[in-house]
Amino acid sequence: MSTSSTANASTAGPDPSLYQYQPLVHSSGEIRLIKIRRAQESQENGPNAAILLEISLFHAPLDQASPYLAVSYTWGDPTPTHKLLVNGAPLWVPSNTFRTLYTIHCSVQKTKTELYQAGEEVALWIDALCINQLDIAEKNVQVPRMGQIYRQARGAIGYIGAPPAGKKPEDGFLALAWFGNAPVIKPPDGIPADQSDPRFQAWYREHQIQKESEPPEDFGEALTGLFVSDWFVRCWVIQEMVLSRETVCLYGYGQEAKSWSLSTMVMLIDRGQNHATHRRDLGRAVKGRGGGGGGVGNWHEMQKAIQVDSWRVLREDLVKKPGGLGIVDLLSRTRVGKATDLRDKVYALLGLMNAEDVPAIRVDYSDSYLAAHLFRDVAVHCMASAEGPMTLVHAGLERSIPGLPTWVPDWSAKYRSPLTTGIYNACANLFRPINVLPGGRKISALGIKVDAIAYTGIPMSYPDARLQVRDATTSTGPDVYGLVLSAAIICGRLRERLGGATGYVLKHENWPDVIWRTCCMDRSWAGKRVTAEDRASFQACLRRFGFGEDVLAAVKVDEATGRMPVENASRILEDTALQEAALGFELMVIDLQKGRVLGTTAGGFFGSFPSTARPGDVVVVLFGGWAPFVLRPVGEDVFELVGAAYVHGIMDGEWVEAVLAAEDTEIFREFVVQ
C-alpha cells in the first residue's frame, strides 16, 4: 500500500464531469467508505480489462460507521489507467486498484468466507479511493488514523495478486499446505482453522503428513510463486495484517481467484517452521536439491514467508504490550518493508507504536519535509532514551539517502543482516544516554576502544540466492562452504600471526568452534544463542566429512603457489551429501552474513563486520550497546559510524568486565560521531 502517489486524475483538469471529492469533516472523525454496485462490460478500459465498475462513495463518522471491511493490497504502477464510475461520475485509478476491486467483487458475489456471505453487499475502505490522494492536508490527518481504521473494521481483505502465467492459484496453496504438514489446504467445515482449538489439534494429529515422502511436483516453483507478490513486504501491509481482526486473502484475478484465510496461512508457515524437516524443505524449495524438490533458486521470495510469520509474532507481542511497541524495535523488524514514499517506512507503523513515541512523529507529506528530515527526527528522539544504542545498531555508512549523519539509520537503505536484539550484552549492562550535540549533526557517547581492525576478507552477498565468496588465495567458489573455508583461512593467518596459538584469545576455544560460531554469529535458527545441542549438530555434520579439527590443515595455503590446494576445497565444496546434510545451516548463515565481511583485529579477535569496514577502523563498546560498533576516524577525536559487528569473545561483556576488574577506567572516553 502507498499513500503518496497520485491515484487519479479527478482534479487534475478543468473537466467538471470528473468525480470531485467533498471535504471530510475531520472534527467529526469522518472517513469515506465505498460499495461496489455492479461490474459491466465496457470497451473503455481496453481489451485486457473490458470491465467497468460502478461504485458508490459516502462519508461516515468512524465511531458510527456500519460494519465495513478494510482492503489491503499493493499499488504497483500509480499511473491512472482504468475508469470507474463513482456516484455516477468517472474517476481514473491505477491498474492494481482496479484489479483488486474487481477481484473482491467477483469473490463476494460467489464465495462464502469467514468475513462475508456469497452475494452480500459489503462496505469497503480502500486508501486509493477513501483518501483524496491529491489533498496533502487531508492525508496528514487521515494517515495517522489508519491504524484505528483497520482495528475497527470487522476484518480485512488482502489481495495478494495473481500467480505466474500458466500456474493456478490453488498450486501455491497446496505447496504451502505440504510445507506445513497439512493434509489439505484447510480444515473441513466444522473444524476451526485456529490451531489452538482442541478440535483443530485433534484433526491435525490424525491427518498430518509424515514428511518422509518427497515434496510434490513443482513444489519449489509453486511455493515461491505464491510469495513472489510484493504484498508480503509492503510496509503498510504489516500494520494492516497485525491490527485486523480477521483477514481473507484473495489470490488470482477476477473469477479465477481463490480465497484463503490468513490465519490458516500463518498456521501452516508456523507449523512448517516448527517441523523437524523445515530447513531441509526450505532448502529444497530454494535450490531443488534432493530430487523432486522443483526448486527455483529464489531465497528472496521464500523470505517473504518468514515475514508472514513475523506478523503473528507482532500480534502476540501487542497482546503482551497493548500500549504499543517501541519505534526502533518496530522499524528494525519491518526494515524489509517496501514503500513508494520513504516517509511511509515510519508512518505505516503509527498504529503499532507506543504512546511515548507517537507524539514525536511529525506526519507531513509536504515537499518541504523529506524522508531524511523524518529519519533524523526519529533518531534524535531515540538518542536520549535506552533505545539510543539500539538505534545505532541499524545505522552506519551504508546509506541511500545522501547527507544523513552516519548515526541516523537510513531505513530505506539496502537491508543488511542485523544482529539479533537482546541475545548479546557487550556493554555488561553499563548504560549512559547518548547526547545529541548542538546543531543536531553529531552525537557524543561514552565507551571503550577495544582494538583496531587489521584485516578484512571479501564482502559477502548472494546474487541468485547463492552466497558468493571470492578470495585471491582460495579456490572456494559459491555456497556456505566458501564462507566457512574463507573463515578458516583468515583464522589460519590469525593463528600464525599470534605465533601458532592453539586457542582463541580470552576464551581459549579451539579454532573450528570459533569459525562456525562466528559464521552463524553464535545464533541458532530460532534466533537465540547457540546451545550445546546446536554445536553438536553442526560439528557432527562437519566431522562426518573430515572437516572438524583438521579444518585449518584442509585450507592451509601452499607457500609455493600462494593458493589453497584445489583438491582440499573441491573435496568439501563438491560433496553433495555434505550440502544436503547441512542445508539448514547454509540458509541460516547466508541470511546472517549478507552485507558483511569477516576479518580480524590487531590483537587477535575474529569477527563479522559491516561490509564497508576496512583496516584502520576501530572496534568500540559504547555504554548501553549490547553489540560492539565499528567507528572510522575522520578527524581529531571525531568518527563516522561504520556499523554494528559481531566480535567473537567480547559479546557477553568479557572485555568490559576485564577493564573493570583491572580498574582501568582511564580508557573510558567520549566518542563524537558525525
pLDDT, tens digit, 9 for 90 and up, residues 617-648: 999 999 999 999 999 999 888 999 999 999 99
First to last CA, the chain: 34
Q: How confident is the model at residue 13 (pLDDT cuts 50, 70, 90)?
A: very low
Predicted pLDDT at 273: 65
Distance CA 18, CA 325 (A): 43
Predicted pLDDT at 613: 94
Predicted pLDDT at 463: 44
Predicted pLDDT at 11: 40
Torsion of CA 346, 352, 354, 356, to 10 degrees: 20
Predicted pLDDT at 335: 87
Predicted pLDDT at 639: 98
Predicted pLDDT at 530: 79
119-131 average pLDDT score: 95
Distance CA 135, CA 111 (A): 36
Question: Mean pLDDT score of the chain, rounded to an integer?
Answer: 81
Q: Which of 27-31, 470-474, 609-613 has the lowest mean pLDDT?
A: 470-474
Q: Does the pLDDT value for residue 462 go beyond 50? A: no
Percent over 70 (pLDDT), the chain: 75
Place of cell 483443530: 200
417 or 150, greater pLDDT? 150
| Cβ-count burial 500-527 (b if 16+ within 10 Å, e if not) | eeeebbeeeeebbbbbbbbbbbbbbbee
Predicted pLDDT at 14: 43
Predicted pLDDT at 476: 37
Cβ distance 459 to 597 under 8 Å?
A: yes
Predicted pLDDT at 651: 94
Q: How confident is the model at residue 570 (pLDDT cuts 50, 70, 90)?
A: low
Q: How confident is the model at residue 665 (pLDDT cuts 50, 70, 90)?
A: confident
Bridge partners (DSSP) listed for residue 641: 631
Q: Does the pLDDT value for residue 178 go beyond 90? A: no
Q: What is the DSSP letter of 413?
A: S
Hey, which bits of 62-154 come out as E strands? 69-72, 80-86, 89-94, 124-125
